[in-house]
Structure 1
Amino acid sequence: MRVRDSVVVITGASSGIGRATALAFARKGCTVVLAARRAEALEAVRQECERHRGAKALVVPTDVTDAEAVDELARRAVRRFGRIDVWVNSAAVTVFGPFEEVPLEDVRRVLDVNVMGYVHGARAALRVMREQGRGTLVNVSSIVGVVSQPYTHVYGMSKHAVRALGASLRQELLLDRAKHIHVCTVLPATIDTPLFEHAANYTGRKPVAMPPVYSPERVARTIVDLVRVPRREVVVGPMGRAMVLESRVMPGRVERMMARQVDRTHLSRKESAPAGRGNLHAPAPGEGAAHGGWGGRRRTAMRRLTTVTLLVGAAAGVARRARAR
């Protein structure tokens, strides 16, 4: 499918992956419909998007847990632009804490946003796409939808559910012979977004981005590429791909490794944090941001530089041995 001139609806567009995705489509000259709870942040994204030549943007403040609000989001997109070519479900929240200490109200809220929000989005999008006879639905899951973690139980549950939803929808579309409607699932590794800063937390320790950290632009590029060439599932980040592959062969070993990794590098051993509900029940103030300050771009660049340096060194070594012969 051609990307340029597409009409793209994005939930969770106020920050993180959703915001980076909106900007990535805007750079391609697409029309973007921006949805999230924060009107102020969405307005900032709109202004960024419309700086790109040919891009148009519509702000629709939306709480994805409200099915009628999500239906209205779809209606406004169609009334204004005539169609929906791409729908990206990216809104997400999380909570850190021992299983028995996380309030049940917070558990329900995470599932409401991360699962029912995607259900509402998928239903609204597919109604339009079935009528059009074409379209692409992209659901943002996570590698924790394959490899679970301690202390983020409900987030992992929600991301497993997103994968299951995508698989079931693909099967129904196959049986309905709706071959021009695609459902794609994206599984990012750790991404440099504000998610950790805004997380609800009951661990007593500050959540930090577990390395290696990748940029939200990397995920956004993957989503744009899926519109061109749809795929069932795509893992973003080499470490994420390695973990997913290894989990299929040695699931017990990967469980143990992930448990230790989370304890050592996902929850700070130096900084404590008071119990709090983060942005679960009320949006964070301000204009939002795509990045969380964890250095995703810089770390990715450094990893690439290191890889190139090693490859150049290895090639030079091979050349020296060849000359010595």
Structure 2
Amino acid sequence: MHETRKIAVITGAGAGVGRAAADEFARHGYDVALLSRDADRLARAATQIESDFGVRALAVPTDVADAIAVDAAASQVEDTLGSIDAWVNVAMATAFAPVSALTPEEVERGTRVTYLGQVHGMMSALSRMRTRNRGTIVNVGSALAYRSVPLQSVYCGAKFAIRGFTDSLRSELIHDKLNIHLTMVELPAINTPQFDWAMNKTGKRARPVAPIFQPEVAARAIFFAATHRRREVWLGFSTVKAILANRIAPALIDQYLARAGYAGQLTDEPLERNAAGNLFDPMPGEFSAHGRFDGEARQHSWEMFTDRHRSLFWGLAGIGAVSLLRFVARRRS
């Protein structure tokens, strides 16, 4: 009979950040349930986790765009592993393309996976956690949940929507006095297979905007958010700069991205084909947590802003502004 362990559900766990997050929770002794679409890749991941960390790992092939399937997966997890302690929403699917090149079906599919997939996860987790008055839900966002960029309208729109839904739910949890922790992690550019398997209509291979971090860095931030009472976590100074700069001068950022936003996200390598990627169907192959940018991705990030840090930041910024105004007033007098 196994010892009692906490249970974590990770969506998008077949590859990328979700795969790294499953490892991170297992490393800390959690039994993990892995949700994604590719059954074979998911089964291999579960086997590897059990071998590496000595925990139970349950593979549950699931399309998070399907609310009924997500809820059925949650029931299977609780029937097999036990009560869910943490639910982590990572799954996403998107397209690199200007809006003029997208079809309504592509936009809808990306939105259903990336936005509604997290909504479905929140609702399934919440319905179970409410009965026990405990649990944690982690939503994985991005700096692009605050500052949109060209060529990623589907992804940016979904991440903005996740942030809005999360904030509404958080207020409701506070109103109902529930001991359920809801948090969101805003990520920088991460070295995942996303840039090789996302739908791409640009004609060139996509790349993350530097600085790039390894998925294990994101996984550590996700675990931190799940185990500390933080409203939100910003990972990497690039995320902090993007969010704060957009608050200060959004029009200037619009102009800058119009000039540099295309080149910063595309390589000079032509695409071999203009395929649908994994938007509608999972991509076959031996994908894992890492993408093709191991040579330039960072293993660590010393900057991790939480809501507590931001309070301090804005306090110091306010003091600085008052000091500046007083200095100007003295100069004028």
Q: Classify the TM-score, shorter chain.
A: 0.7 to 0.9
Q: Could you tell me which residue of structure 2 aligns to residue 282 of structure 1? A: 281
Aligned-residue RMSD, C-alpha: 1.8
Q: Is residue 271 of structure 1 aligned with residue 270 of structure 2? A: yes
Contact 1:147 1:255 survives alignment (8 Å): no
- The AA in structure 1 aligned to 2:88 is V
**Alpha-carbon deviations, 1:155-187, whole Å to 9, x = none?**
110010111111111011011011x20111111
Number of aligned positions between the proteins? 299
Structure 2: gaps (5+ residues): 303-333
Deviation of the 1:264 alpha carbon: 1.8
Distance 1:196 1:53, change over 3 A: closer
Q: What is aligned with 2:164?
A: 164
Task: Give yes or no for contact 2:50–2:56 (8 Å, CA) kept in 1.
Answer: yes
Q: Could you tell which deviates more after superposition, 115-124 or 9-18?
A: 115-124
Offset, 1:194: 0.5
CA deviations on 1:255-309 (whole Å, 9 max, x unpaired) are 233333321220123434542211111101024210001127x5425998xxxxx
| Alpha-carbon distance, 1:133 to partner | 0.7
Q: Deviations over 1:201-242 (max 9, x none)?
A: 112222112211111111100111112213122121211111
Structure 1 residues 17, 154: closer, same or farther in 2, change over 3 A? same
Shift of 1:115: 1.2
Query: How many angstroms does 1:41 deviate by?
Result: 0.7
Answer yes or no: is 1:19 the counterpart of 2:19.
Answer: yes
Return the alpha-carbon distance in structure 1 between the equivalents of residues 129 and 236 of structure 2: 30
Q: Distance in 1 between matches of 2:266 and 2:146?
A: 20
Tell me which residue corresponds to 1:80. Answer: 80
Q: Which runs of 5+ in 1 are unaligned?
A: 305-325
1:225 aligns with 2:224: yes
Taking structure 1 as reference, are residues 184 and 303 closer, same or farther at Cα in structure 2, changes over 3 Å only?
closer
Quote the residue 1:318 is aligned against.
none
CA gap of 1:144–1:104, structure 2 versus 1, over 3 A, is: same
Cα contact 2:17–2:216 (8 A) shared by 1: yes
* Paired residues of 2:122 and 2:137 also in contact (CA < 8 A): yes
* Code of the aligned partner of 2:134: R
Q: Which moved more, 1:116-125 or 1:226-235?
A: 226-235
Q: In structure 2, what is the equivalent of residue 129 of structure 1?
A: 129
Cα distance in 2, alignment partners of residues 55 and 28 from structure 1: 10
What is the TM-score with the length of structure 1 in the denominator?
A: 0.88
Counterpart for residue 211 of structure 2: 212
Distance apart, 1:152 and its partner CA? 1.1
Residue 65, structure 1, aligned to residue 65, structure 2: yes
The residue correspondences of 1:21-100 to structure 2 (distance < 5 A) are 21-100=21-100
CA distance in 2, matches of 1:53, 1:202: 40
CA distance in 1, matches of 2:293, 2:12: 20
**Secondary structure at the residue paired with 1:58?**
strand
Structure 2 match to 1:139: 139
Name 1:309's counterpart in structure 2. Answer: none
Conserved? CA contact 2:214–2:299, under 8 Å: no
Residue type of the alignment partner of 2:231: R
Checking the alignment, whether the CA contact within 8 Å between 1:147 and 1:243 is kept in structure 2 is: yes
Return the TM-score normalized by structure 2.
Answer: 0.86
Contact 2:198 2:277 in 1 (8 A): yes
Match of 2:240 in 1: 241
> Are positions 1:150 and 2:150 aligned together?
yes
> Does the aligned pair in 2 maintain the 1:30–1:54 contact within 8 Å?
no
Equivalence for 2:107: 107
Q: CA deviation at 1:147?
A: 0.7
